[in-house]
Chains A and B, each alone.
Chain A
Amino acid sequence: GEDVEQSLFLSVREGDSSVINCTYTDSSSTYLYWYKQEPGAGLQLLTYIFSNMDMKQDQRLTVLLNKKDKHLSLRIADTQTGDSAIYFCAVATNDYKLSFGAGTTVTVRA
Chain B
Amino acid sequence: KAGVTQTPRYLIKTRGQQVTLSCSPISGHRSVSWYQQTPGQGLQFLFEYFSETQRNKGNFPGRFSGRQFSNSRSEMNVSTLELGDSALYLCASSFTAGTSKWQETQYFGPGTRLLVL
A residues adjacent to B (C-beta < 8 A): 30-31, 33, 35, 41-45, 48, 88, 90, 92, 94-103
Contacts and interface: CB of A to CB of B under 8 A. Distances in A.
B43 A100 contact: yes
A45 B107 contact: yes
B42 interface: yes
Interface of B: 4, 31, 33, 35, 42-43, 45, 48, 50, 55-56, 58, 90, 92, 101-103, 105-111
A2 to B, nearest CB: 10
B48 A96 contact: yes
Given A96-B102, A97-B33, A41 B110 contact: yes
A97 B58 contact: yes
A96 B103 contact: no
Nearest to A102: B42
B108 A94 contact: no
Most buried by B among A31, A42, A90, A98: A42
A43 B108 contact: yes
A96 B54 CA distance: 10
Nearest to B88: A42
A30 B42 contact: no
B103 A42 contact: no
A44 B4 CA distance: 11
Contacts of B110: 41-42
A98 B58 CA distance: 11
A83 B96 CA distance: 30
Contacts of B4: 42
A42 B109 CA distance: 6
Contact of B101 (A35, A42, A45, A94): A94
A45 B103 contact: no
Nearest to A33: B105
B105 A31 contact: yes
B108 A96 contact: no
Contacts of B42: 100-103
A94 B102 contact: yes
B55 A96 contact: yes
